[in-house]
Structure formats: structure tokens, C-alpha cells
Structure 1
Amino acid sequence: MKFQSFTRAILLSGIALGSVTTLSSPVWAQDEAAADEADASGEIIVTARRREESLIDVPISMTAISGDTLAAQGAVDITALQDKAPNMTMQIARGSNSTLIGFIRGVGQQDPLWGFEPGVGLYVDDVYVARPQGAVLDIFDVSRVEVLRGPQGTLYGRNTIGGAVKYVTNKLGNEFGGKVRASYGAYNQIDLIGQITVPIGDTFSIGGAVAWYQRDGFGKNLTTGAEHYNKDVLAGRISAEFAPSEDVFIRVAADKIIDKSNPRHGTRLVGNGGLAAFQPTASVYDTRAGIGDDNKVETQGVSLTGEFGLSDTLTFKTISAYRDGHTDTLIDFDNTAGPVLDVPAFYDDRQFTQELQLLFEGDRIQGVAGLYYLDARASGAFDTVLGGLNLTTLTSGTVKTKSYAAFADVSFDVTDQFKLSAGLRYTKDDKTGTVFRRNYTGIRSPLFGNTTAVPGLIRSDYTNSRSFEKLTPRVSLSYQPNDDLNLYASYGKGFKSGGFDMRGDAILTPTTVNGYEPETIDSFEVGVKSALLDRKLFANVAVFKSKYKNQQVTVQVPSLAGGIASFVDNAGRGDIWGAELELRAVPSPNFSMNAAVGYTNADYKEFLTFITGGTTPVDVSNAREFQNTPKFTASVSATASGDLLGGTISFTPAVSLRSDAYMFEIPTPALDPDGYFLVDASAAWTSPDDVFKLSVNLRNLTNERYRVGGYNFPGALFGNSIIGYYGPPRTATFNIEYRF
């Protein structure tokens, strides 16, 4: 980020906050959203360690945001978390509408291909979501979202090496009620959301929520005339709760999401290597892609949760869940009308998980022990179409995973002030990968509709199995001289199992049949959590250092033999260190403020790669950078409220900053995003009886153009395909809500 832009952002944030403090005759009160997050003492209650605790008591760097806060500030989906949680990147994956990529403290996974594991675990009501497709969850019927930074391998398993995101939906309770919300905004945005709870007797309730999102595109496909960056999503949840006594709680829940938004093809950033003359689009949201506009993502799941109080100190919990999904998509890498570099694709996945927990709550000992099982299958296929060569390479494959784990995490009050917490998890993953790649003469293979394509060289055709296992410990020591201060130090190890590259080409990279190795991280953290000034100011500070080993880096490069070569490097080792500061202030009844600052310094110490298919690894660490990891992130927001027309009016400005970052490990100046800042604002009026609410959300007020994804396939053979994807422009949304 240029110094002038950084200074401008700081000034804007000061102006925004200044405008709050100069409201005429303000009546200070804690804002509704903050009140939903906190208990009567102003403290936030979380479940980061699989049990309810005060945020101050948890020796983990984390951010907790209520669903009401996200909705009130106009957050469309969970990617808005990156504007509120420090040292976090959460974006819609390049070329998709609902596939999620997440990074925390420099650790994550950008490649959403089936078989690759995410580095940041996503949980919906304690159910692990194994695949990123359909994981860009919209904000509705959500109680809160918790962001846990650093490896969470003890309690959350093998793929939380960077951290975990917990999406906690609302429990039904036993009172009839509900709400409906209608929204209209820029680009003909229409959102309709409704939820209801219906008690049947004193012990049983059923309820549900449905959300329908429609929006025209921010841009246009100049070749086909279709909307580009549009939205067409229908989502719903239904659940039933049975609580015959204080010791028994059973919940059955099901959800489904259908996303028929047009595919995002990006926009070309440079000329196309001497083919047709390059014509830049007038808008970064426009495209000239000619592959088509059909796209559909469908995900669904069902879960059964049971909690049974065995005694005053013991609780047994069981979580059973099944999820599946299917994606049909099109990616036009060249962004021209012709099939220069086109990729039609589909993905399928399904998973069954079972977790058993035994929770213990004694006077001086608290903890949880459990068993975990996952049975998952991810598969898919895609064509890589090189129109200039009249060549198509079909890639297809399947990864079957069975994962077994046993874990325990226990906290012991050594004294009233000193607390020791320790955990250990054993994980074993069995994986079987099947990969098939074949050349065809013609545009597309028979699998994608061209029955006249001539089959050619088989490039990969193998099945292989591997097992990976690891013990991941965690230990922390806390000193709490009083209820309002916690000083802690912790160590944790993260583990992400190895696997097989579904794009692996056994001719170009023969070792691909052996798969790639697991990656691990050792993370050390010291922190302070505090409630100051009679609980009018909450301040959390954390400093961390991590040793990252055998990082799995997916590399895709053009091949002179035709097609694109893919391989996964276990990239040696890297050091990551940084700090986070989070503040929450409630100085008077009608005013609250939140601020967060993050700093991450990530540096490769060794990066071994087999360059151009060589057999001897070469260390290129001096020429590699951590992707999707800006050095600085920051955000600040404030809410002021007062009386108006018998009801309550509130105003919330918000500013977020991100410094320069790298799109991939290899610096690419044409693609790497510059730093940027976003300015948002929201205002709301609530009726005296809290039944009606009118609000407006203004997002990206400065109309910033900021790049969030891209592809890099230079060279005339590939149409010099360097394309970018962008975050939303300035929007305004008006909402009306009725509660009953």
C-alpha cells in the first residue's frame, strides 16, 4: 500500500469516528449487536474449547462476532470476516461464486480442487465441512461466528493448521417467534429472508429459515451478453429440538444451498500474446469470455446432535452428520470469445462424520475427551482446452479418505490464579487416490460433450494408497490474578495430511504417483486478555511465532509439451511471526467501538522444488513469498445510538485496511494486489416495541477497485492468460425487518 493511501485511510477512519462523537445530544448505550455477544457483565461467551467459557478465560487468540453485528453492518457472507478479524484472508475463490479460500497468519490453501485439504477448518455447529465448494456461507440464522487463530489440532482436527472458523446457528428455544427481512439495493439486489420457531408442547420445537438472494451483475459478459458477478442463491435450514429435561438436549438439523449465479470469468489484465488484438474492458467487472454462462453449485447436509447430562460433572455429547455437494462450472482462462484456454469442470463430494465427546466440569478440573471418524469421497473432472492446438486434456479422479482420531484436552486450576491446560490428539488418515489424464484431438473430450474427439496419449492412469498419522499436542499456562486479567503462554502443533495431486501428470512429473507429504506447524504464542476501566474497555493482545515445515504448495505452469503441468511441492520450511491487538470499548450506554490490528511477517527459509521436471530439488526460497498474507491488516468501527420518534436510531461507520500481498508464491507484479482500504457505513431505526427495524447499509463508499484473485498462464500458446478477479464495488442496500 502506498504511504499516501495508508495516510488517507487513517484520516478517513478518524473522520468517520469523529462524526460519531459529534452526533447531537447522543444518549450513550451499548449497541444491540454487542449486547447479543455479551453476558450481563459485558463479557463474551464462546465455545472455542468445546465448552462455554468467558472469552477472557480462553488462552487462544480469537475473534467472536455475533450474527446480529454482521447483519447490521451489511455483511453479505462470511468473507466479511477478513474485514474484522486481524491477520485473516477469507475470499471467494477465483473463478467461482461460492467456493471458499481462507488464510490465517499466513497458513491456508488457495487451490480448491477436489482432494486438496483446506488449511483453515470450517465448522457449522461443530460439524466439519471438508470441502470448500459451497462453503461461502451467507449471513442468516446465525448466532455468532468464532475465528480461532493458530493451529487447533487438538480439539478441531487435522486440517486446522492455520486456524478454525466456527459458524454457530441459532438454537430454537421454546418460544413462538420469528422474523422476516426484505432488502433492496444497488444492481437490483433483492434479498428475502425469513425464520420461525414453533414450539409443540413444553419440550419440543421445530423451526426453519429460508433466504433468497438475487442481484444483477456488477459487470457484463461482452461476448454473450450475460450478467457478470451476479447472484442467484436459494438457501434454507430446518431443525427440530427436543429437551425433555435440563439434562437432555437433542437437535436434528438439515440445510441446503442452491447457487445458480453465472460463472465468474475474471477480466484480462494484459495483451493476449499476439492472437486477436487486445481490447481492455471498460470495467474490471466485465469479461469477454466465450465458454458460456452455465454454473450451478448445490450442497446439502443433515446432522444429529445429542447432549446428555450423566451427572453434575459429566456430559456426553454425540455429533453425527452427512454432507454432499455437486458443482458444474466453466472457467474461461483466456477471457476471449474463442476456446484459447477453456476449462469446463464438475466436482462431487460427500462425507460422513461421527464425533463422540465426554465433557467434565469439576471444581478445579475441566476438559473434554473424544473420538472422531470421517469417511469422505471427493471426485471430479475437467477439460483443459487449448484451441490453438485443437487439443484437449481430460483430467479426472477420486480421493477417498478415512480419518480416525482420539483426543483429550484438560484444564487444571493449579491455584486460584494459575491454570495449566494440555491437550493431545492422535490422527490417522487413510487415503486412496485415482488419477486419469488423457489427450484428445478436438475441442473438449467426450466426457464434456464432444463425442467425435480422437483419443490420444494417456498421461496418467494410476491408483495409489497412503496412510498418514500424527500426534499433535497443545499446552498453555495462564495467570489470572483476577477475573478481568489473563496472561497466558501457549504452544500448539498443527498437522495436515498428505495426499495425491488430481492434476498430476505422470509423464511430465513421474513422482506424482507417490503423492505428497504432510505439512506441520509448531506455533508459540503469548498473550494478554483484559477487561479495564470497570469493564468499559476490553483489550486482547497476542504475539506469536510459528515454524512451518513441508508446506504443501500447488504449482501450475505452462508446459511446452502442451497443456499445463501441475505438481505439489513440500516446500521445506518457513518462519512466521507477528502480533494482534483487539479492542472493544463501551464507554457509555449508547456508544461502542471495536478495533483490530494485525501484523504478520512470513519468510521462507527453504523452498525446495523440482523445476521444469528435474530430478534434483532446488532451493528457491529467496525468490518465493507467502501468498494471501498481507503484512498489515486493521479495522475500526463504532456504533452510536440515540432516541428518535420514540424508537432508537443507530449509526455505524467502519474502515478496514490491508497492505500489499502476493497472489502466489512466485511474485507476479501484473497480478499481485496492492494494499487497499474499505469504508462502510450503516444506519438503523428500531421501533419502540422492537418489532420493526429500518436500516441502510453502504459498502465500499470510496468505490475502491481491489483484486482478490487471479490466474497466471503467460505465453502465446495459452493466450497470455493473466486474468484478475475483484471485490464488490460501492453498493447501497435498504432493509426492512419485522419480528413477531
Structure 2
Amino acid sequence: MHNNKSFRMKLLALSVAAACSGAVYSAEEASDKEKAEDDGVPVITVTARKTSENLQEVPVAVTALNNLEMEARGIELITEVQQYSPNTTLQKSRGTNSTMTAFIRGVGQQDPLWGYEPGVGIYIDDVYIARPQGAVLDILNIERVEVLRGPQGTLYGKNTIGGAVKYITKEMTGDAELGFKTTLGSYNQRDVKLTGQYPITDSLYVGFGAASLKRDGFGEFLQSDIPNQDRENYNKDVFASRVTLEYRPSDEFFFRFKWDKTEDDSNSKGGYRLLPSILTNAPVPDSVYDSYTSLPTWNLVEVEGVSFTAQWDLTENTSLKYVVSSRDNYSPTNIDFDNTAIRIFDVPAVYDDKQETQEIQLNHSGDGYNFVAGYYYLNAESCGLFDAILEEFGQSLSLPGLTREVSGCSHSQSNAAYAQGSFDLSQDWSMTLGVRYTNDEKHAVVRNGLIFDTVYPWSNWVPGYTRPEGELVPVVLNDSEDWSRFTPRIGVEYSYNEDVMFFASYAEGFKSGTFNPRASTAEPAADPEVVDSFEIGMKSDWGRNFRANVTLFALEHKDRQYISVLPGETSADLNQRLGNIGLSESTGIEAELTYVSSRNLTFDAAIGFIDSDFKEVLDTDPVTGETFDKSDRFTISNTPELTFNLGAKYTMESSVGDFVFNTSYYYRDDYVLFEEDSLLTQDGYGLVNFSVNWYSYTSNWTAGLHIKNLTDEEYKIGGYQFVTPDPSDPTNVSLYTPGLGGDNTLIGYYGDPRTISLTVGYQF
């Protein structure tokens, strides 16, 4: 065990940081391939096509980071992987720490409300995660993360029109192991992680992982009308645990049972008021991490899942795999949209999601060909309730209060069959063909209505509150719909030599249709979205010291689903409609470069450029009934035109061990946070990160010092806008017409400030 650990540490110290192309290192491949030696670029193994392959032989735009590289950079959350993947946005959403906003190449889903479908698929060990709540995963017992850019409409299929993010945990070695890490850092960060495995018999192993992750807030709630509550803002309080059983009765059979649970008790996040309130005298806070609230600050995200995998190697070249899983997600949350100490626009909400999946997969490789085929099934129910409390507006109308309550469930079933194969046409040419048939069925129930009182989801949500019994608002939508589609993939590959491959491909992505979870009438469902994508790329190693992977792409995003806010008689109206209104196009380039300057020094770069525009956005004039194009008012959200990461790693050998220095500069160009008439724009910014890690020669001790956002940049990652520019002077951004609730609600949520942490670990 000690020798194995030392080998892994030495391999880390001498191999490529490769932030752009990541690294999954295989000891067997390192000994078999000359170019994987210490002074050259490494062999990287990925499972992007559901079989283990050398990254340089996979005709797909993939970024991979393994556990050692993430450890060396101090990566703690899956969202940090966005810095190493071109044209990728993975960020914590507004209002909570655990909800994911994911966009790849301008395709994603901004609104995390129940019933909506994501545009980027999140997977844990081949199990699809249907909801963004709880998708911001902490790095624990992980083998690697893979980011697949572009539609994955054949092998993954379900809502991967933008791409897929794969979180892959470690398989056990069969050795008895125990390791711990503890981290102390700024804002009183205090993390403890414990992982291990133990062989019960020669063929039965048990593994476990547990983590307590705590940190004080970056800011505070300056005012609150609820006494005796925690006023920390942007704090962290997470406990995560996992247990795995693996059984290998023979060389042909493998079984794995996994259980995981995460409980996030971090406070709800308060946003920063970008405009002074016109209904209160509270000033705009001095810090972007400070806020005001009239809601409780408690928040909860509970995620629990189990899965079972059985694999049978029928022959040396043929295997059969079965994966079944079940996941539950429960999240009561407090979102103060107006971020004042009075009830102008408060939204307490509850999310309750369940899903079951099954997949049967056949893998076969032959002489000059291989293929993957399978069947996939998803049964999911996504439910929720929110109360939009407009108490101040209601009191201005001489009412005791005013609340618009919306609740309901969306039940979906998805069945899919897929097959994809690659085969050699000649010594230098090969072809990839794939197809997936998907059938999605949905049934939705929506309740929506006004309540002339102040209402919360349940009794004692705030101290002393009693909720009336029964359903408080009527059912406005109760409907079912189904959709089906074939999504193909076709590609051709040319091997110029054993180190340079060119490829071209066409792929189609399919995102399910859906009903409007905020419907106020029995409106029809929106149709599915479709993405057609073309890629031309190169995977290349030039000598043993330089790697260049480059992809050019063009995509057309058709039938974009969008929520439009309809004008009402008063600002208390929350009428919205969902429809297919848009067509957008994107073209771009992605380059992932690695240069091994010497045995001890490596440079890397990940560069993405994208030109994205709405070409058509059709709407109907409510007065004349005429259709018109308003694409000039729309911008692709969460999609900077330019992203790049420049990094360097230097290994310094000493008598007490290896010191590995990592530094990087990550830049994101300016971007908007909303698609239509966005008032929230983030200017371009750069993040400087620095790490130094020490690996002992004589023991299994490790230590790492990590500084993130060294220059303490402030940058928006989310927000709310419920104001419009004053029509009398739309060029003057200081003049606004109040929106829902009657106040100037323009709110920003921000990424983490500068943090410093020290991690110490030991492997028994």
C-alpha cells in the first residue's frame, strides 16, 4: 500500500497539470507507452463513449480532471471545474449553495423551478441527476470529472443538448486503506474528510467516505425582523457520506452497491441590492456579500441516493452491464427577492423530487470495430410549492396581506434505446455511427391563485404562524403530453499518424418538452428543443512534449423554450407563459494545449471562443394579435464570448519530499445573466489561483496551501431583475419603473472572494 501511494504521488509530481485536458493516469498504460514516461505528456483515459479509451483517440471534445489534479489545485466543488473546460459555465445558482447553473456552448437552463428540464446532463457514475438542486457536488472519494461538450444525444441522450458532466467515483483496489484530510482556512473554514476501504473477504470489499464541511459567511444579513436567527450570509454547513460494497466473485462478474447522502444546512443566500429601495430607508450595503431579509435565514438541501451495478464479462471482448438507481431530493428554502427587512417580495418555497433509473448496456469490441448498445428508463416526479408574498403591496390596497401561491407536480417517464459503433474503413480512416430513440411522457398538475393574506408553506415557517388547512388555490392545469424523437450521430476520423487524428462529426440533441410550472391557465405544453451540432477537430501529440487538441463547432438551437412575463392589471400579477419562441446559432473554437518544458516544468492552456446570437424570437402583440420578431432584445445568457485558463506547474525536489507549485489565471469575458432585456451584466474578469503541495518521501503525509481569487475580484454569478428602464428615458440606467412588489428589485449574487486554506492529509 505504501509503495502504491508513493508511486501515485511521484506520478503526480512529474506528470502534466493539464488543466485543459485534465488527467486520468493509468499505471499500466504509463509502463506500456513510451510517451507516458516522466518527461512527456501523459496517457489520459476517459469513458466519454461509455468504454475506457485513450483521450487522444476519442473524437469528442472532452475535458477530464482526475482526483490528484483536483487535489493539487485545491478544487473543492464540481463548479470549479468550469475554469478548466472551454466555453463552460458551472456555477452555484442564486439563493442557495447547492443548486447548479450549467451552460455549455451557450446551451443550458437558467430557471431551476420544478418541471423544467436542464440543458446539460449531470451524471454520478452513469446515473443521471434530473434536478439542479443538490447538483453542486463536493469532491469526495472521486476518481475524475469529465466534461463532454456538445450534444450527447446518442449515448447519454436525456437532456444533454449542451453536453454532459460526469462525476466518477473510485473503484476499490481490495487493499485495506484509511485516509483523512483536514482543512483550515479563511472565514473560519474547517473541513474534515475521512475515506477508506476494507476487504471483508478476498472478493468482497467495503468502502466509505464522510466529510464535514463548514465555513462562516462571507457577509451577513444586516437587518431582519425575525429575532434569534443566524445572520451569516454565504456560509457553508454540509455533511456528506457514502458507503460502497463491491463484490468480485470471479474475473467475469462485478457487483457494486452504493449509498450516498448529503445534507446542506447552509443558510439561504441573500442577494446584494444594486439599487436603493424606494419603500425602505435601508442603504445599499457596503459589501456585495451583505444583505437584508424579512424571511428566516435557515435553508435545507437533503439529497439521498442508492444504486446497484452488475457487470458480466461474457467474453474477453464483450460485457453486459445493468445499473439501477433511486434518488430523493428535498429542499425547503427561503428566497427574499427584494432583499429588504420588510415583506415586499418574499418567496419561501419547497422542492421535493424523486427519480428512478434503469439502464442495460452491452459493450463489444472486435477486430477493427466496437459498439455500445443499450436501453434506458427514467421515472421521475418533481414537485414544489412557492408563496410569492407581496405584503406591502397588499397593505397599500387595505388588505391584510397578499400572496400568490403556486404549487404542483410534474411526473415524467422516459424510455430510450440507443446504439453507437465505430469501425475502421482502412488503416487510416474510420467512421462512427450512432442513433438513439427517446420517448418522453409527462403529466403535470399546477395550482395557482391569489390569497388575500400573508401565507407560508407550512405552520411555524416563521415563529407563531399557522397555515390554513386544505388547498388554498385552484387547479389551473392538469394535462398530459408525450414526445418522441430519433437523434443521430455520424462522424469520420482520419489518423494522420499514430499521434495525430482529425475528426468531423454531426450530432443532434433532444431536450424534452414540458409544461409551465407557473401556469395561470390551462396552457399547452412547450415542444422539445433540438440542437444540431457540427464539429471539426484535431487530437494531436507533437513529439513527446506538446499536446494540442482543437475543436471548431457550429450549432443551431431550435424551438428554444422560454418564459415570458405577461403584463397584468397590477404589479401583483405573476402571469407567465411558456412557449417555443426562439432560434439561436453559435459558432466557436476550443483549444486545449499542454507543453512539458522539462521533467519539472509544465505549461497548459484552455481557450474557448464562442459567437452566439438569437436569430429569431417570435412573440404576439396582445393588442393586435400580430406576430413580431424581438430577437434584438435577446442575448444568450451565462455565455462569455471568450474564456481561457493559463497555467503552469513546477516540481521542486528536496530531501524532505516533492514541492509542487501550481498557478493559473482564469479569464471570463463579459456576459449577461438574463436572456431578455438583461439589466444584469458582468464585465470581464480574471481569477488568479496559486497552490503549493508537499508530498513526503518517507511517509504518507501530504500538505497543500491554496489561494483562490488572489486579487479578490467581485463578479456576479446570478441575480433577479424586477424593474424596467423608465420609458421616458430608456438610456438612463438610473431611472427604473418598479416591478413586482412595487420596489426597485435589481439583485446580484456573487462568486467567492479571496480565500486561503491549508490542507493536511495522511494515508494509513
SS at match of 2:187: helix
What is the distance in 2 between the residues matched to 1:284 and 1:588? 43
Q: Please list every run of 5 or more consecutive structure 1 residues that lacks an aligned counterpart in the other structure.
A: 1-26, 507-511
The equivalent of 2:505 in structure 1 is 490
How far has the Cα of 1:247 moved from its partner?
1.6
- Residue 362 in structure 1 maps to residue 373 in structure 2: no
What is the distance in 2 between the residues matched to 1:115 and 1:468? 15
SS at match of 1:81: helix
Q: Among 646, 663, 681, which residue is 1:653 paired with? A: 663
Deviations 1:20-41 (A, max 9, x none): xxxxxxx993258977535413
Evaluate the alpha carbon distance shift between residue 336 and residue 32 of structure 1 in structure 2; reply closer, same or farther with a 3 A threshold.
closer
- Residue 291 in structure 1 maps to residue 295 in structure 2: yes
The equivalent of 2:722 in structure 1 is 713
In 2, are the aligned partners of 1:558 and 1:713 still within 8 Å (CA)? no
What is the distance in 2 between the residues matched to 1:195 and 1:346? 33
- Residue 340 in structure 1 maps to residue 325 in structure 2: no
The equivalent of 2:5 in structure 1 is none
What is the distance in 2 between the residues matched to 1:468 and 1:316? 29
Deviations 1:418-445 (A, max 9, x none): 1100000000001000000121111115
How far has the Cα of 1:590 moved from its partner?
1.7
How far has the Cα of 1:577 moved from its partner?
0.5
Q: Among 3, 8, 15, which residue is 1:30 paired with? A: 15
How far has the Cα of 1:704 moved from its partner?
0.2
The equivalent of 2:246 in structure 1 is 241
In 1, are the aligned partners of 2:24 and 2:64 still within 8 Å (CA)? no
What is the distance in 2 between the residues matched to 1:553 and 1:266? 24
How far has the Cα of 1:628 moved from its partner?
0.6
How far has the Cα of 1:132 moved from its partner?
0.7
- Residue 553 in structure 1 maps to residue 562 in structure 2: yes
SS at match of 1:118: coil
The equivalent of 2:110 in structure 1 is 110
The equivalent of 2:68 in structure 1 is 68
Identity %: 40
The equivalent of 1:608 in structure 2 is 618
Evaluate the alpha carbon distance shift between residue 201 and residue 688 of structure 1 in structure 2; reply closer, same or farther with a 3 A threshold.
same
How far has the Cα of 1:566 moved from its partner?
2.2
- Residue 569 in structure 1 maps to residue 547 in structure 2: no
The equivalent of 1:628 in structure 2 is 638
The equivalent of 2:171 in structure 1 is 171
The equivalent of 1:217 in structure 2 is 217
Q: Amino acid of the residue matched to residue 164 of structure 2?
A: A
Q: Please list every run of 5 or more consecutive structure 2 residues that lacks an aligned counterpart in the other structure.
A: 1-11, 31-35, 37-41, 225-229, 395-400, 724-737
SS at match of 2:14: coil
What is the distance in 1 between the residues matched to 2:246 and 2:601? 36
Evaluate the alpha carbon distance shift between residue 448 and residue 89 of structure 1 in structure 2; reply closer, same or farther with a 3 A threshold.
farther
In 2, are the aligned partners of 1:434 and 1:464 still within 8 Å (CA)? yes
Evaluate the alpha carbon distance shift between residue 611 and residue 638 of structure 1 in structure 2; reply closer, same or farther with a 3 A threshold.
farther
In 1, are the aligned partners of 2:17 and 2:648 still within 8 Å (CA)? no
Q: Amino acid of the residue matched to residue 508 of structure 2?
A: K
What is the distance in 1 between the residues matched to 2:244 and 2:468? 48
What is the distance in 2 between the residues matched to 1:548 and 1:276? 43
The equivalent of 1:18 in structure 2 is none
The equivalent of 1:431 in structure 2 is 442
How far has the Cα of 1:609 moved from its partner?
2.7
Q: Which moved more, 1:701-710 or 1:714-723?
A: 714-723
In 1, are the aligned partners of 2:702 and 2:761 still within 8 Å (CA)? yes
Q: Which moved more, 1:580-589 or 1:121-130?
A: 580-589
SS at match of 1:112: coil
In 2, are the aligned partners of 1:446 and 1:453 still within 8 Å (CA)? no
SS at match of 1:655: strand
What is the distance in 2 between the residues matched to 1:44 and 1:120? 24
- Residue 689 in structure 1 maps to residue 698 in structure 2: yes
The equivalent of 2:429 in structure 1 is 418
The equivalent of 1:253 in structure 2 is 258
How far has the Cα of 1:446 moved from its partner?
6.7
- Residue 737 in structure 1 maps to residue 746 in structure 2: no
SS at match of 1:640: strand
Evaluate the alpha carbon distance shift between residue 313 and residue 87 of structure 1 in structure 2; reply closer, same or farther with a 3 A threshold.
same
Deviations 1:149-204 (A, max 9, x none): 00001000130000000000011121111310000000000010010010122211
Deviations 1:186-224 (A, max 9, x none): 000001001001012221110111111000000000114
The equivalent of 2:6 in structure 1 is none
Deviations 1:603-639 (A, max 9, x none): 1111113466985443101221111111000001111
Evaluate the alpha carbon distance shift between residue 113 and residue 632 of structure 1 in structure 2; reply closer, same or farther with a 3 A threshold.
same
Q: Amino acid of the residue matched to residue 257 of structure 1?
A: T
The equivalent of 1:141 in structure 2 is 141
Q: May I ask how many residue pairs the two structures share in their alignment?
A: 706
The equivalent of 1:469 in structure 2 is 484
What is the distance in 2 between the residues matched to 1:689 and 1:240? 32
Matches within 5 A, 1:60-459: 60-224=60-224, 226-272=231-277, 274-387=278-391, 388-389=393-394, 390-444=401-455, 447=458, 451=466
SS at match of 1:71: helix
What is the distance in 1 between the residues matched to 2:676 and 2:85? 26
Q: Among 674, 678, 685, which residue is 1:676 paired with? A: 685
Deviations 1:356-415 (A, max 9, x none): 011111111101010011111110100011112121011000000010000000001111
What is the distance in 2 between the residues matched to 1:558 and 1:591? 60
How far has the Cα of 1:453 moved from its partner?
6.8
Deviations 1:420-476 (A, max 9, x none): 000000000010000001211111157566557799995752210000101000011
How far has the Cα of 1:111 moved from its partner?
0.7
Q: Amino acid of the residue matched to residue 619 of structure 1?
A: D
How far has the Cα of 1:575 moved from its partner?
1.1
What is the distance in 2 between the residues matched to 1:505 and 1:275? 28
The equivalent of 1:58 in structure 2 is 58
In 1, are the aligned partners of 2:445 and 2:475 still within 8 Å (CA)? no
In 1, are the aligned partners of 2:17 and 2:604 still within 8 Å (CA)? no
Evaluate the alpha carbon distance shift between residue 314 and residue 614 of structure 1 in structure 2; reply closer, same or farther with a 3 A threshold.
farther
In 1, are the aligned partners of 2:102 and 2:108 still within 8 Å (CA)? yes
Q: Amino acid of the residue matched to residue 487 of structure 1?
A: F
Evaluate the alpha carbon distance shift between residue 473 and residue 453 of structure 1 in structure 2; reply closer, same or farther with a 3 A threshold.
same
In 2, are the aligned partners of 1:609 and 1:619 still within 8 Å (CA)? yes
How far has the Cα of 1:313 moved from its partner?
2.3
Deviations 1:80-136 (A, max 9, x none): 011110000111111111011100000000111111111000000000011111010
Evaluate the alpha carbon distance shift between residue 295 and residue 615 of structure 1 in structure 2; reply closer, same or farther with a 3 A threshold.
farther
What is the distance in 2 between the residues matched to 1:236 and 1:46? 26
What is the distance in 2 between the residues matched to 1:62 and 1:166? 11
In 2, are the aligned partners of 1:441 and 1:455 still within 8 Å (CA)? no
Q: Amino acid of the residue matched to residue 170 of structure 2?
A: N
SS at match of 1:719: coil
Evaluate the alpha carbon distance shift between residue 613 and residue 330 of structure 1 in structure 2; reply closer, same or farther with a 3 A threshold.
farther
What is the distance in 2 between the residues matched to 1:261 and 1:169? 25
The equivalent of 2:4 in structure 1 is none
- RMSD of the TM alignment (CA)? 2.0
SS at match of 2:383: strand
Evaluate the alpha carbon distance shift between residue 654 and residue 384 of structure 1 in structure 2; reply closer, same or farther with a 3 A threshold.
same
Evaluate the alpha carbon distance shift between residue 455 and residue 208 of structure 1 in structure 2; reply closer, same or farther with a 3 A threshold.
closer
How far has the Cα of 1:644 moved from its partner?
2.4
What is the distance in 2 between the residues matched to 1:454 and 1:578? 55
SS at match of 1:250: strand
What is the distance in 1 between the residues matched to 2:742 and 2:718? 19
